[in-house]
Structure 1
Amino acid sequence: MRFIALWLSGIIIAVFALQQIFSTEPFLLINELKWIEPWRLITSVFAHGSPAHLLNNLFALALFGLILEGRIGARRILWLFITAGILVNIFSPYARSLGASGAIYAILGALVALRPGMVIYIHYLPMPMLIAGIVWLSQDIFGIFYPSSTANIAHISGLFMGVAAGLYWRKQFGDKIEKKSKKIKDHVLETQLDEWEKTHMLRK
Structure 2
Amino acid sequence: MSYQSDELDSGSLLAGSPTVQTLAVFLVVFALQTAVRFVSRSLAFGLFVLASPVSVRPWTLLASVYAHANVTHLVSNAIVLVLVGFAVERVTTTWRYHAFFATVGMLAGVSQVVVSGLVGPGTPVLGASGAVFGLLGYLIAGNPVTDAVMGWLPLGGRARVALLFGLAAGATLLTASPGVALVAHFTGFALGLVAGRVRLLRV
- Fold agreement, TM-score > 0.5: yes
Q: 1:62 aligns with which of 51, 74, 82?
A: 82
**TM-score (norm. length: structure 2):** 0.68
Identity of aligned residues (%): 28
Q: Whose helix fraction is larger, Structure 1's or Structure 2's?
A: 2
| RMSD (Å), alpha carbons | 2.7
Query: Which whole-Å deviations, capped at 9, do the CAs of 1:19-74 have from their partners, x for residues lacking one?
Result: 11112312011122x11111111111111011111111112112211110012232
Moved more, 73-82 or 2-11: 73-82
Q: 2:98 aligns with which of 50, 74, 78?
A: 78
Q: Is the Cα–Cα contact under 8 Å of residues 111 and 183 in structure 2 kept in the other structure?
A: no
Query: Which whole-Å deviations, capped at 9, do the CAs of 1:175-198 have from their partners, x for residues lacking one?
Result: xx47xxxxxxxxxxxxxxxxxxxx
Q: Which runs of 5+ in 2 are unaligned?
A: 1-14, 38-43, 117-121, 147-162
Q: Which residue in 1 is equivalent to 2:20?
A: 6
1:1-204 map, 5 Å: 2-23=16-37, 24-25=44-45, 26-32=47-53, 34-92=54-112, 93=116, 94-115=122-143, 117=145, 137-141=169-173, 148-169=178-199, 177=202
Flag the structure with more relative contact order, 1 or 2, with Cα contacts below 8 A and sequence separation at least 6.
1
Determine helix, strand or coil for the equivalent of 1:71: coil
Report the structure number with the largest CA radius of gyration.
2
Q: Cα gap change, 1:143/1:6 in structure 2, threshold over 3 Å: closer, same or farther?
A: closer
The CA deviation at 1:137 is 3.3
**TM-score (norm. length: structure 1):** 0.68
Determine helix, strand or coil for the equivalent of 2:125: strand
Letter of the 1:111 counterpart: L
Q: Which runs of 5+ in 1 are unaligned?
A: 119-130, 179-204
Query: Which whole-Å deviations, capped at 9, do the CAs of 1:151-179 have from their partners, x for residues lacking one?
Result: 11110100011111112227xx9xxx47x
Q: Whose strand fraction is larger, Structure 1's or Structure 2's?
A: 1
Determine helix, strand or coil for the equivalent of 2:145: coil
Question: How far, CA to CA, are the matches of 1:153 and 1:162 in structure 2?
Answer: 14
